[in-house]
């Protein structure tokens, strides 16, 4: 098997997203706006904002990731492309992997890149800011992998958008704990190494297992 079918699946998702930029920009601006609302709501005390920043940024990232999930397989399901993916001679899990990487590139990576800028708003600086970026860079692909399973399970279900949140948000808890924890750990001076390693471990497990779970869920959804 050569890599070209995977590349084709990846390229098509990116090309399609490029043609429908508005869809993906809404996710991004949702993240920016939710994060920016907090200082307005809780007041401008620098110390409090600094403490809350990692949690706020991470929760907003989870919600933004959530928002983009129904699109990953939803359109393919509705227009019949999913049938063709399932019937393709390539292993479905590999195509799922390609689509997940495309999803992360479009929805997760922009959040990780934007987070340090938003962190500045909360008075984060120096090492916590760097760690925030790394934690999101490691964490957002986990969100795409885990979320993919939920998105595949809720295909064709009425009100799938809410259901996917109920299914997937609890599974995001470890990512949230290690991700926000990493930034807090640096701020309190204990070092972020442990948290980031655990986040990396989450990513390895999610990347290894979720494509299989997702492809099984997709087959079930199509029956």
Partner 1 sequence: MLQVRDLACMRGDALLFRKLEFDVEAGEVLWIEGSNGSGKTSLLRILSGLSPPEQGEVRWRGTALASARDALQADLLYLGHLNALKDDLSVAENLQFHSAIAGYDADAADIDNAIAAVGLTSRRDLPVRVLSQGQRRRAALARLWLASSRTLWILDEPFAALDVDSVDRLAALLADHVSAGRMAILTTHQEVALPAGRTRRLRLDAA
User: Is 79 among the residues that bind partner 1 (CB under 8 A)?
Assistant: yes
Angstrom distance (rounded) from CA 83 to CA 18: 24
The phi, psi pair for 80, rounded to 5°, reads 90, -5
Among positions 59, 86, 177, 209, the unique one binding partner 1 when judged by CB under 8 A: 86
Strands (E) in 3-112, as ranges, are none
State in angstroms the smallest separation of the CB of 20 from partner 1: 6
Q: Rule CB under 8 A: which of 92-111 touch partner 1?
A: 95
15 binds partner 1 (CB under 8 A): yes
| Helix then strand then coil, % of the chain, to nearest 5 | 85, 0, 15
Residues 89 and 64: their CA atoms lie apart, in Å, by 34
State yes or no: residue 113 binds partner 1 (CB under 8 A).
Answer: no
Residue ranges in 133-172 that form contacts with partner 1 under rule CB under 8 A:
none
Min dist CB 104 to partner 1, Å, is 20
75 makes contact with partner 1 (CB under 8 A): yes
Among the listed residues 43, 44, 87, 159, the single contact to partner 1 using CB under 8 A = 87
Query: What SS3 state is found at 221?
Result: helix
| DSSP letters spanning 13-42 | HHHHHHHTHHHHHHHHHHHHHHHHHHHHHH
Residue numbers 16-35 binding partner 1 by CB under 8 A: 16, 19-20
Assess 12 for contact with partner 1 (CB under 8 A).
yes
Distance CA 145, CA 109 (A): 13
Least distance to partner 1, CB of residue 15, Å:
7
CB of 25 to partner 1, least distance (A): 15
Residue 14 or 59 having the CB closest to partner 1: 14
CB distance 91 to 8 below 8 Å: no
The residues, any chain, with a CB within 8 Å of residue 97's CB and separated by 6 or more, are: 6, 207, 211
In the list 59, 67, 90, 171, the residue contacting partner 1 (rule: CB under 8 A) is 90
Cβ(13)–Cβ(107) below 8 Å: no
Residue 81 sits in the site that holds partner 1 (CB under 8 A): yes
Q: Is 44 in the site for partner 1 (CB under 8 A)?
A: no
Residues that bind partner 1 (CB under 8 A): 4-5, 7-9, 12, 15-16, 19-20, 75, 78-81, 83-90, 95, 222-223
């Amino acid at each position: 098997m050569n890599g070209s079918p995977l590349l084709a699946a990846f390229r098509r998702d990116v090309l399609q997203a490029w043609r429908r930029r508005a869809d993906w920009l809404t996710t991004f601006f949702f993240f920016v706006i939710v994060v920016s609302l907090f200082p307005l709501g809780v007041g401008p005390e620098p110390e409090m904002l600094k403490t809350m920043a990692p949690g706020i940024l991470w929760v907003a990232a989870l919600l933004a990731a959530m928002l983009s999930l129904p699109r990953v397989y939803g359109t393919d399901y509705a227009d019949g492309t999913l049938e063709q993916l399932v019937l393709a001679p390539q292993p479905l899990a590999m195509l799922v992997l390609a689509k997940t990487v495309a999803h992360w590139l479009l929805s997760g990576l922009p959040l990780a890149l934007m987070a340090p800028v938003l962190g500045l708003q909360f008075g984060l600086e120096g090492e916590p800011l760097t760690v925030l970026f790394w934690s999101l860079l490691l964490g957002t692909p986990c969100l795409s992998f885990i979320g993919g399973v939920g998105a595949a399970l809720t295909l064709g279900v009425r009100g799938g958008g809410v259901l996917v949140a109920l299914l997937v948000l609890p599974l995001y808890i470890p990512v949230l704990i290690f991700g926000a924890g990493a930034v807090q750990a640096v701020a309190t001076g204990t070092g972020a190494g442990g948290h980031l390693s655990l986040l990396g471990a989450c990513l390895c497990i999610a990347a290894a297992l979720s494509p299989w779970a997702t492809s099984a869920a997709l087959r079930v959804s199509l029956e």
